[in-house]
Structure 1
Amino acid sequence: MKIRSSGGGITGRGAGVVLAAVALLAAGFAYGYPDLALLGGAATIAILCAVGFGLWRPRLGVDRVAEPDRVPRGAPAAMTVTVRNTSRLRAANLVATDRCGAATVPVPLLRLRPGRDTTVDYPVPTTRRGVVPVGPLRVTRTDPLGLLTLSRAYGDTTTVWVHPRIHLLRAVPAGMARSLDGRIDKVPHGTITFDSLREYVVGDELRRVHWRSSAKVGELMVREQLDTSEPTIVVLLDDRAAAHPDRRDGTAESFEAACEAAASIIAAAVREDLPVVLHLTSGPAAGPYLDVLTEAALRDGDLTRTVRSLRQSRLGDTLVYLTGPGGRTDLGTVGALRGPYPVVIAGLFGDRDAAPVAAGGALIVIEAADGEQFAAAWDGVRGW
């Protein structure tokens, strides 16, 4: 059992009874009215009983299981709460609620006998991307006369991660660096490196024979080489508040669409077994990328400083910049990375009615209203 906090206090009725008890006792003893003193004593006894009732703390154990604890936006998720009465003597007859995000869920604890438990299942809202805190269980107790109300929290808090939706992307940009599977033949010089030695097999090229090792071993040994030029995709998510000025109920739909696009690109790269790096305008991503996208929020940022850092570090060879209506004027700044990054793609969300972007061939621009439209337009790009 873990009790983490308490709240509540005396009710309006309780305050009235306290004042009445003081007045009756004072009047009864001061003016010699035993009936008034008797009523004041009865009110005092009621108050003491209420305090004693409130001091008793029910012993409850709370366990929560989220199924699942990480879910795409809009997918079903459920929370199972099990409450056990760990007391050996008294049954629990309480009013309890569990916090689920911004909502409260009633948890019935009627006639919960010692050693018994009750289980409640309820859905977790997944209509919005983000981390949904669930718990703690809050138990509210009121004495029979309604003079005192006490509220205590039991158990820990569980979180449910609502990830951005992932849309299927069939095409993956290859950039200038190429893998050894032969899909594209523009491998820069110096990307083939020595990996290991193995025995000669009929059909191996004689120029790959390592003669010095062959002389020592007594049989032909062949150099095994490895291509270190895997294409790396860098996803730059613009999390500046200025880039997503249009908000409704505190949510910028253009930013939600950008997060979905970032998650879709990351999923496509993982599916193709290609390295991928996530970078936010506010700084590099640390931790699992889908969790980072779940926690991402709008804040102040400096795009110029981020572009300078990306130019110096050169994290990959394909850069994907995802922004909102406020980032339209910054496309030229990001397009200047066309030198260190052979392929630069920009996803512009929430600004379909504006004039088309004149990229001048240096920048591939995809304009979309949401993540689904972005996925359809992405697969139609043939410029990388």
Structure 2
Amino acid sequence: MGITARGIGLLVAAVVLLGVGFRFAYPELAVLGAAAVVAVGHAVVTAAWRPRLTVERRADPDRVARGEPAAMTLTVRNTGRVRAANLVAEDRCGGRLVPVPLLRLRPGRDTEVRYDVPTHRRGVVPVGPLRVTRRDPLGLVALARSYGERVPVWVHPRIHPLRAVPTGAGRSLDGRTDSVPHGSITFDSLREYVVGDELRRVHWRTSARVGELMVRENVDTSLPRIVVVLDNRAGAHPERVDGVAESFESACEAAASVVAAAAREDLPATLLLIAPTEIEAAGDGRSRRERAELESSHGPLDRLAAVELAEGGEDVLRTAMSRLRQDRLGDTLVFLTGPGARDGLGHVGALRGAYPSVVVGMFGAAGPTPVSAAGLTVVDAADGAEFAAEWDGIRRW
């Protein structure tokens, strides 16, 4: 609750009037001072009344590509039984406030407001909560309350269609890309039992030792696997335009395009970030090849919408590449970075022994990127669209 400037002035006047009235025996001044105190008290009681409101939000849609239209429909209902709500309300949408008219909202009635959500930048746009301000008729006291929950709108990177999808070294004996489901050929690791697992896959000896059911995790070695690594270090993307690193935005679009192309061909894809928190997330108890798998149709795109630049130098890159070399998550590695990482491509080239095919996407570089490591395929591009065109022009993976 906050007292407005008018309310503070009236309180000061009330104190002065009461003091002068009692000190010099002027009852008229004392009456005016008492009336001012009563007015402020009435304002406090009026503003303290809490209207019974329910807030519903509906994003249409809640996930869009950068630049595509998205709208939020806000429905506010007065669930009270006696008093009509006469309020001032604003809904927060990202960094702006949207006025919501709640004048004479009668009991049992609702009002609906629809407005556009800004999608000109990749990211997660938080919408809400609704901020309702209750004022007294004289404007002496204002009390603001929040209603409803915050709803995110996911603005994904643009996806540029890719015709070519690398199949790496993982192929079936008959020469075609195999689509055998995951978990049918080679033992990989053990994990905890979850409802739905087949009992024939339970490793009883280990289960008896640890005291809980452990299941064998297998992988299909004939299925090509693509690993997309996004360099989200701030040092890799040093140039900013209005606080935005365009090279990083282009790298996010390239990552989304590769992941979408892999999903179209029903190929497993893994999305990793160089940031330490993402590398540490690999140790969440899943198998090595499953820990960063796409969890849902929106999983990787949501991660790309929420990812931000993080601090980290060449030591962070070296650690991440070492982890990738040990884990060997696939047979085609796509490394997407910016001009600040040109001197660190040697660490990426060292992965050539673990990954038969290594592709480097370099965004925002002033000139062609020199290839210091044999076997690296480097794609220099200014943005995601140019990357897609250069990608489709690669003759050999």
Q: Matches of 1:107 and 1:53 in 2, distance apart?
A: 21
Q: Matches of 1:143 and 1:323 in 2, distance apart?
A: 57
Q: 1:246–1:178: structure 2 CA closer, same or farther, 3 Å change rule? A: same
Q: Which residue does 2:321 correspond to in 1?
A: 307
Q: Matches of 1:176 and 1:363 in 2, distance apart?
A: 15
Q: Matches of 1:127 and 1:166 in 2, distance apart?
A: 15
Q: Matches of 2:338 and 2:61 in 1, distance apart?
A: 31
Q: 1:184–1:26: structure 2 CA closer, same or farther, 3 Å change rule? A: closer
Alignment check: 8 A CA contact 1:180 1:227 kept:
no
Shift of residue 360, structure 1, vs aligned partner? 5.7
Q: Which residue does 1:380 correspond to in 2?
A: 393
Unaligned runs of 5+ residues in structure 2 are 179-183, 187-218, 283-291
Q: Deviations over 1:214-237 (max 9, x none)?
A: xxxxxxxxxxxx974111111111
Q: Matches of 2:90 and 2:177 in 1, distance apart?
A: 60
Q: Secondary structure at the match of 2:375?
A: coil
Alignment of 1:87-126 (within 5 A): 87-126=80-119
State TM-score, norm by structure 1. 0.84
Greater C-alpha Rg: 1
1:332 matched to 2:346? The reply is yes
Q: Matches of 2:368 and 2:147 in 1, distance apart?
A: 56
Q: Matches of 1:232 and 1:315 in 2, distance apart?
A: 8
Q: 1:71–1:184: structure 2 CA closer, same or farther, 3 Å change rule? A: closer
Q: Matches of 2:335 and 2:225 in 1, distance apart?
A: 14
Alignment check: 8 A CA contact 2:318 2:347 kept:
yes
Q: 1:69–1:361: structure 2 CA closer, same or farther, 3 Å change rule? A: same
Q: Matches of 1:343 and 1:181 in 2, distance apart?
A: 21
State TM-score, norm by structure 2. 0.82
Alignment check: 8 A CA contact 1:359 1:365 kept:
no
Q: 1:16 aligns with which of 9, 27, 40?
A: 9
Q: Secondary structure at the match of 2:21?
A: helix
Q: Matches of 2:151 and 2:374 in 1, distance apart?
A: 49
Q: Matches of 2:342 and 2:129 in 1, distance apart?
A: 44
Q: 2:253 aligns with which of 237, 257, 260?
A: 260
Q: Which residue does 2:147 correspond to in 1?
A: 154
Give the letter aligned to residue 45 of structure 2. G
TM superposition outliers: structure 1 runs of 4+ over 4 Å: 284-287
Q: Matches of 2:387 and 2:13 in 1, distance apart?
A: 70
Give the letter aligned to residue 83 of structure 1. V
Shift of residue 300, structure 1, vs aligned partner? 2.3
1:33 matched to 2:54? The reply is no
Q: Which residue does 2:190 correspond to in 1?
A: none
Q: 1:80–1:184: structure 2 CA closer, same or farther, 3 Å change rule? A: closer
Q: Which residue does 1:290 correspond to in 2?
A: 301
RMSD: 1.9
Q: Matches of 2:263 and 2:108 in 1, distance apart?
A: 48
1:274 matched to 2:285? The reply is no
Q: Matches of 1:116 and 1:123 in 2, distance apart?
A: 24
Q: Which residue does 1:350 correspond to in 2?
A: 364
Q: Secondary structure at the match of 2:160?
A: coil
Q: Secondary structure at the match of 1:122?
A: strand
1:145 matched to 2:160? The reply is no
Q: Which residue does 1:73 correspond to in 2?
A: 66
Q: Deviations over 1:331-377 (max 9, x none)?
A: 121011111111110000011x2244235642100011110110000
Q: Secondary structure at the match of 1:95?
A: strand
Q: 1:181–1:62: structure 2 CA closer, same or farther, 3 Å change rule? A: farther
Unaligned runs of 5+ residues in structure 1 are 1-7, 186-191, 195-225
Q: Matches of 1:355 and 1:35 in 2, distance apart?
A: 88
Shift of residue 181, structure 1, vs aligned partner? 6.4
Shift of residue 178, structure 1, vs aligned partner? 1.3
1:323 matched to 2:372? The reply is no
Q: Secondary structure at the match of 1:97?
A: strand
Q: How many percent of aligned residue pairs carry the same amino acid?
A: 63
Q: Deviations over 1:297-316 (max 9, x none)?
A: 11123010111111111111
Q: Deviations over 1:222-257 (max 9, x none)?
A: xxxx97411111111101111011122321111111
Give the letter aligned to residue 335 of structure 1. G
Q: Which residue does 2:198 correspond to in 1?
A: none
Q: Secondary structure at the match of 1:48?
A: helix
Q: Which residue does 2:157 correspond to in 1?
A: 164
Give the letter aligned to residue 118 of structure 2. P
Give the letter aligned to residue 16 of structure 1. G
